[in-house]
Structure 1
Amino acid sequence: MSAQREMKEKNPWQSPVTIIITVIGVIAIVTLVTVAVLQNKPLPQKYKYGIVLDAGSSHTALYIYQWPAEKDNDTGRAEQMHSCKVKGLGISSYASTPWKAGDSLSACMREAMEHVPVKRHQETPLYLGATAGMRLLNIENRSASDKVFQAVAEALQKFPFSYQGARLLSGQEEGAFGWVTVNYLDDRLKQGLETTGALDLGGASTQISFVSDNYDGSESPSNSVTFRLYGNDYNLYTNSFLCYGKDQVLKMTLAYQTQSGPETVLDPCFHPGYNETKNYTALYDSPCVSNRKPQNAPESFDHKGTGNFLECQKAVKRVFNFTDCKYSRCSFNGVFQPVLQGPFGAFSAYYFVMNFLNLTDTSIHLETVKQKLADYCATPWQQIKQQHPKVKVKYLAEYCFSGTYIVTLLTEGYNFTSETYSNIKFIKKIKGSDAGWTLGYMLNLTNMIPAEAPDSPLLPHAGYVSIVTIIAILLFLLFILSLRPLWPCRSKQPQII
């Protein structure tokens, strides 16, 4: 018994110093692991917000974007969280009553207050960008344009956001920011992939933007925009055609048909049986056609449809000039355009018109598209109204014309062929966000797309925690092994004789 007691007393593991060291070591390792996990665990997602108002020619739309607040320099992925279509026409329609332009935005701005958390209101930037409708008003009546912008600014400053101003976008900006939006949402910029061209069609203008390997900007510098995004350089070709939005082209097409001031117009771009009385003054109220108004024209004319696609296309082609070109190659109206390259996304009115006509599937051969349009245009007006009772008559009556114009613009104007037409994808949204210039505009103004690629962490969170845990365990084992000299030595039991 005395020998066992002596061995127990000499056991170093039972000495107070050894016990204290062991406990401290275990506590240190547990603390190391706990701190690593707590310090690096993903935080509850917090967001920042931005608001952009798209003041187009036919209407205004509000978009709210959000992105992770914990990202350095606001480089987190921005995505659309809410949109609101302003009731009524575009702000340019309020030229004679500018205060109504500001009032028209109130309902959507109140929606924005509900969707953006109150604690983020003061820091949320608010932008308004006006496009072709206001560009036309600015040409026609600069004073009226300024008053509309003033009324809009006064209305927006009443809301608790960080108002950053209302401005008139150039056509080139509208096209370029649309290109940024499409490629940003599709993750093509960050990954350095082949980019997608952007085709935008509104009521008063249309834009085409794409990157071409054969275009360095020297032949037509005014069509060149250079971006450096995520460490990659992009030399972008872009052009905007004012007056070539679908609403203004309709006016121009009708203007050609009413040059002699007739009392009746037989229009192949409207369905057989369509018959409406229209006012000459209203037709020629736009700067796109105001200088063509015929002398001694009657007050109104009867607008009758005949529904003939081929004749409609001939009428539409009259608004294009395909003969004048001082460059190596042109689209139309003497505007330079390099060879088309890559896939294209067609959005805004492109999508809405072709979606209504069930023609968004570009795997359908181009000749088939034209035949379907011909069949649609030839359908009697009464039958069309019966098939679409919920669509406003004004919009319903114009789909034959709009579809014909889109196909003509893409093939005759931009030079898409039967082979390259399939490169076009008609899109409304990309990953939940509307395709359009607004997101690209906000990303540019908030510098959310860095010129250089942002640094990424060496390891993901899970990998980091795993490595720290393994190292901690190894340290613990090494600590135990370091105490080996203190381990008790096994001695031979004395033999009892």
Structure 2
Amino acid sequence: MAPPSALDPWLVGRHFGIVIDAGSSGSRLQIYSWKNPRSITIVKGSALSLSLPVVGKGTQHGEDWVHKVEPGISSFASNPEGVEGHLKPLLNHARKHIPPSLERETPIFLLATAGMRLLPPIKQAKILEESCRFLTHHSDFKIDSPTAAGPCGSSVRIITGEEEGIFGWIAVNYLMDGFTGASQNRTTYGFLDMGGASTQIAFEPDPRNQGDAKNLVDVRLRLLGGAEINHKVFVTTWLGYGTNQARERYVGKAISEFEGTRTKEQLDIVPDPCLPKNLLLEETPVNTLSPTAHASQSHQLLGTGSFEQCMKNTASLLNKNAPCPDTHCLMNGIYVPPIDFSVSHFIGVSEYWYSSEHIFGLGGAYDFVQYERAALDFCSKDWAEILKEHDKSQKNNQLGGDGEVEKDGQIVEAGKWGPNVARSRLQMQCFKAAWVANVLHEGIGIPRIVDPGGNVTSESEKVEKEAEKKGLGRPTFQSLDTVGDIAISWTLGKMVLEASKEIPLPSKSDRPLVDPIDDVPENSPIKPIRPFLSLDGLEDRIAPHLPTVLTRTSLGFSPVIFLALVSCCCMLLLLAYPLRRHFRASCLRSVRRVTKRDEGYSLEEGTYFHNGKYPGGSRAPSPTSTTRPWLYPLRRIASFTRAAASSQRSNQRHTDLSARPSPTRSYSLPNGFDTTASSTQYTTRNSISRSPSPAPGFIDDATTQNHMPHNLSSRSRNTSQMNLSIMAPRPSAISRNGSLQSPKKGHLQDE
């Protein structure tokens, strides 16, 4: 399928954005689009100026704006190179629906969630690096440059559970018109999301109680007219409280309890009230509390079909008795400000919707009585009977997909469940229904609404009436999947924020919009995930095992990071202590080299300096006019190197010649004096030294050396010039027997 043509009127002034939701069970690509805010004529004070950009599907027709692949990206922890094959069909799908001319201005985000958060930081980093490399080398989509967030900046990263909750909160209130100008004084909707690995809550506390609430996140959006709206939102996440992770903990707990009371005659069959009656499954515990090795082996779980007992057995998994460092906690000792359910109303997505609608048909306004009746009836059925009803419903096209199942590259729609997919949903429906109800009522504290007539409520509309009787107004809780034809997803909230960022600032003094995670105060417990700084991952693993008084909240700083830094400093000191003598010797040698270099000679004009000064207080000779000043230091270094090499060769030759008897020659000077000198002094060119010009007379080597400076008595620092004023006239020839012949009267004769 070719991408849409640039001449299509639907594309005029349209911007696109792509989000890959890299979840624990699969990666889902979603394409969104919106009109360019700069191309829209906005009348000040109009309804349009008080609204956000309209963000919708990224395709004009059909459901091609969504594409999903399985398994989750976290499954490539041991094989990061496999990420390329995982992402390739997603990227190809996006390029089929985005015009090539718009690719460079279309941002793409790969945002990983709970599945990746469970991996060690090193494996997280490798997967993100491979994802970044593939997206940048195989597409022209807009991707951030490397930052502290990762190799592709904020385009490819792991989002926290808090970010997931904030983006979902934005999506819900965007679709429910919670951000329009006319509703600014109304309370926004709270957001609940439950996946396979985690669950989140995000809500705006009552303005009267916001002063007492802690850890609020500042969410800023910009309306088309340029005005900024601001909401203080509380958000938190419970990692391990998704349905799949909760099931793993439940199986481990059930097997441990069974092993603690079983007899030798009993088989490895564990009764399970959270499975339909007579359903037999073999499961291997991931976490078990039993010390015996047998408890970690696979066991068969036999369904007993008791929803009431399942509710009791799963309630302990909420960990309500965990220590609470703050004044108000919900599950697992995590702080949540008090919720006034007469004001705050919640919308649940994902598993809240699937568990209510796909088997029970109770999506929408929530009534616990009706929900409990449907769950009791389903769990108590025999598994064989459930399979018969499933086959019948499938033939009548009554079952529906859960929005996460893919077949032949397409998301399975309602009424198109395959037998294997439907069976897995039916097997876990009883457990998931109990877990969702416990999280809502025992965990979060949403009140159960029981109408005065008893358990006779049969329609969700009556829930709204009962809620109004109790002063709750709108339903306290309702599960939704879509609003109109747009699915409720945190990815939509991310794109609403991106579209809002494109609105021009009213003035230069206004702050540009940023992601909420980048705008939290320094003392906030909500921190972005940085897998390249593994100390954060280390803290996440160690902190739950520390006493309450040693947590970050109690101390005001991270004790794990503090201890890690102290340990690193101690290790460095231990490594450096045995090498202290070598460090001291190296420092002394460096000081001596600097001292000797300062007591050398100038190499420019042959003059010398001592203790950093030139004779007579003169300054160092300046380079010639033809030499560039910035090259002068380099020329000095090169000259020192050549002089050192030349002196070494001269000393070597002088040593070799001095080891043999040196013949002497007699020189006859013009004034009649003779001198006897070692022939080596005049036959070895590199050993001739400069000396002050003496008065005419007899001068031997010893006398000459005594008149020279100490440093000149051993070797010459400049071999380019020779002072031979002591020899006049210059000999013109050397006889075969060693005498020097001169055409004038003065001659040198061998003795």
TM-score tier, shorter chain, comes to 0.7 to 0.9
Q: Establish whether residue 203 from structure 1 lines up as the match of residue 205 from structure 2.
A: no
Cα displacement (A) at 1:293: 6.6
In structure 2, what is the equivalent of residue 402 of structure 1? 432
1:146 to 97, 113, 125: 125
The question of whether the paired residues in 2 share the 8 Å contact of 1:219 and 1:327 is answered with no
SS at match of 1:62: strand
Q: 1:296–1:228: structure 2 CA closer, same or farther, 3 Å change rule? A: same
Q: 1:123–1:450: structure 2 CA closer, same or farther, 3 Å change rule? A: closer
Q: 1:104–1:215: structure 2 CA closer, same or farther, 3 Å change rule? A: farther
SS at match of 2:171: helix
Q: 1:424–1:453: structure 2 CA closer, same or farther, 3 Å change rule? A: farther
Q: Which amino acid aligns with 2:306?
A: N
1:163 to 143, 162, 166: 143
In structure 1, what is the equivalent of residue 445 of structure 2? 415
Deviations 1:58-113, CA, capped at 9 Å, x for gaps: 12111101011363599732212354342222111221222223311222221111
Q: Which amino acid aligns with 2:244?
A: D
The question of whether the paired residues in 1 share the 8 Å contact of 2:19 and 2:110 is answered with yes
Q: 1:353–1:228: structure 2 CA closer, same or farther, 3 Å change rule? A: same
SS at match of 2:177: coil
In structure 2, what is the equivalent of residue 101 of structure 1? 83
CA distance in 1, matches of 2:111, 2:332: 27
In structure 2, what is the equivalent of residue 305 of structure 1? 303
SS at match of 1:248: helix
Q: Which amino acid aligns with 2:293?
A: N
Deviations 1:352-396, CA, capped at 9 Å, x for gaps: 221112343455632221121111111111222222243423332
CA distance in 2, matches of 1:429, 1:399: 21
In structure 2, what is the equivalent of residue 87 of structure 1? 69
CA distance in 1, matches of 2:168, 2:11: 32
1:226 to 198, 209, 218: 218
In structure 2, what is the equivalent of residue 190 of structure 1? 180
Q: 1:192–1:239: structure 2 CA closer, same or farther, 3 Å change rule? A: farther
The question of whether the paired residues in 2 share the 8 Å contact of 1:269 and 1:400 is answered with yes
Q: Bigger CA drift: 388-397 or 68-77?
A: 68-77
CA distance in 1, matches of 2:29, 2:230: 31
1:175 to 165, 176, 197: 165
Q: 1:453–1:206: structure 2 CA closer, same or farther, 3 Å change rule? A: farther
Deviations 1:313-366, CA, capped at 9 Å, x for gaps: 111111112234444433222223221433322111221221112343455632
Question: 1:60-459 to 2 correspondence within 5 Å?
Answer: 60-69=27-36, 71=38, 76-81=53-58, 82-137=64-119, 141-157=120-136, 158-164=138-144, 165-191=155-181, 193=183, 194=186, 195-213=188-206, 219=212, 221-222=214-215, 224-229=216-221, 230=223, 231-260=228-257, 262=259, 263-279=268-284, 283-284=285-286, 289=287, 292=289, 294-297=291-294, 299-323=297-321, 324-337=323-336, 338-339=338-339, 340=341, 341-361=343-363, 363=365, 365-389=367-391, 390-391=418-419, 392=421, 393-419=423-449, 422-445=475-498, 447-448=500-501
The question of whether the paired residues in 2 share the 8 Å contact of 1:359 and 1:369 is answered with no
Q: 1:328–1:362: structure 2 CA closer, same or farther, 3 Å change rule? A: farther
Cα displacement (A) at 1:439: 2.1
Unaligned runs of 5+ in 1: 1-41, 455-497
Q: 1:116–1:244: structure 2 CA closer, same or farther, 3 Å change rule? A: same
Q: Could you say which structure has the larger radius of gyration?
A: 2
Cα displacement (A) at 1:153: 1.8
> Could you tell me the TM-score, scaled by structure 1's length?
0.74
The question of whether the paired residues in 1 share the 8 Å contact of 2:191 and 2:203 is answered with yes
In structure 2, what is the equivalent of residue 54 of structure 1? 21
> Could you tell me the TM-score, scaled by structure 2's length?
0.50
Unaligned runs of 5+ in 2: 1-8, 42-51, 59-63, 145-154, 260-267, 392-417, 450-466, 508-751
Percentage of pairs with the same residue: 27
The question of whether the paired residues in 2 share the 8 Å contact of 1:347 and 1:435 is answered with yes
The question of whether the paired residues in 2 share the 8 Å contact of 1:216 and 1:235 is answered with no
Q: 1:160–1:318: structure 2 CA closer, same or farther, 3 Å change rule? A: same
Which has more strand, going by share of residues? 1
SS at match of 1:396: helix
Q: Which amino acid aligns with 1:188?
A: G
CA distance in 2, matches of 1:216, 1:450: 32
CA distance in 2, matches of 1:160, 1:356: 40
CA distance in 2, matches of 1:44, 1:153: 28
Q: Which amino acid aligns with 2:369?
A: E
Q: 1:228–1:150: structure 2 CA closer, same or farther, 3 Å change rule? A: closer
